[in-house]
Amino acid sequence: MTGIHHMLVHFPIAFWALATLLVLLAVLGRGRAAQIAQASLLPLLLLSLLAAVVAIVSGFLVWPWQANLYSPMVRNHILMAFWALAVWSILAALLWRAGKTAFNGKQGWTLVFLALLGSGLFAVTGTLGGHLAGAPTAFSQLIAALGWKLYNTFYLPTWALLLLALVGLGCALLGMLGRRRSS
Ligand code: HEM
């Protein structure tokens, strides 16, 4: 049964890697290549979200909850999988709402930022999975060098959570002000 998860996770990983390249091409590229990247990004993102949900569900179906939640490494793996899904869902929602204008100016840079953040998160998810399956990569050493202790549960200090909440509120306020100004 474990083979099912091992097989299914390749889909979100491959789709998200391709989506990152397409975002860079769509925002920073020019001409026909940029047009193709812009047109194909949303369908690819929708496919990637479906693939990620299937991969996540397979993780919960293949191994018992108790075993999953008992291990700090699996907890970290699950946490990163959900963060990656959240960031790529936000990117897809922005693209859905803004359409072609999402690639221009500041909005384009927001897509680039989210795509790079999402890539980092799925890379950490995958590398933790590799660790769990007994195939650690050099990328885990980079995470460890950054100060993340792979064998302990990841957590954010309370001040960082408060800071994130403030940044979120600030972004919502800026969005509301921007909308009022444009109407
Ligand atoms: C987007 C979501 C996910 C991705 C991209 C992902 C990725 C991976 C990868 C790349 C591996 C290593 C497979 C290999 O070496 O062949 C792995 C293993 C593993 N994953 Fe996930 N995973 C995801 C979600 C989950 C979730 C939600 C759970 C648990 C509820 C989970 C539990 C595990 C476990 C326990 C292993 C170790 C397998 C073993 O020991 O053989 N994964 N995952």
Report the pLDDT value the prediction gives residue 148, as an integer from 0 to 100. 84
Report the pLDDT value the prediction gives residue 183, as an integer from 0 to 100. 75
Is the beta carbon of 135 within 6 A of some atom in ligand 1? yes
Alpha helix segments (H runs only) across the chain? 2-8, 10-28, 31-62, 65-70, 72-98, 105-132, 138-145, 158-182
68 residue type, one letter: N
Report the pLDDT value the prediction gives residue 150, as an integer from 0 to 100. 84
Site to substitute for ligand 1 among 2, 9, 85, most atoms within 8 A of C-beta: 9
Query: Which of these, 144, 156, 112, lies nearest to 21 by C-alpha position?
Result: 112
Low-confidence ranges of the chain (pLDDT < 70): 1
Structure tokens at 160: 């960082």
Query: Given the CA of residue 127, which atom of ligand 1 is nearest to it?
Result: 10
Report the pLDDT value the prediction gives residue 25, as an integer from 0 to 100. 97
Tens of pLDDT, residues 53-72: 999 999 999 999 999 999 99
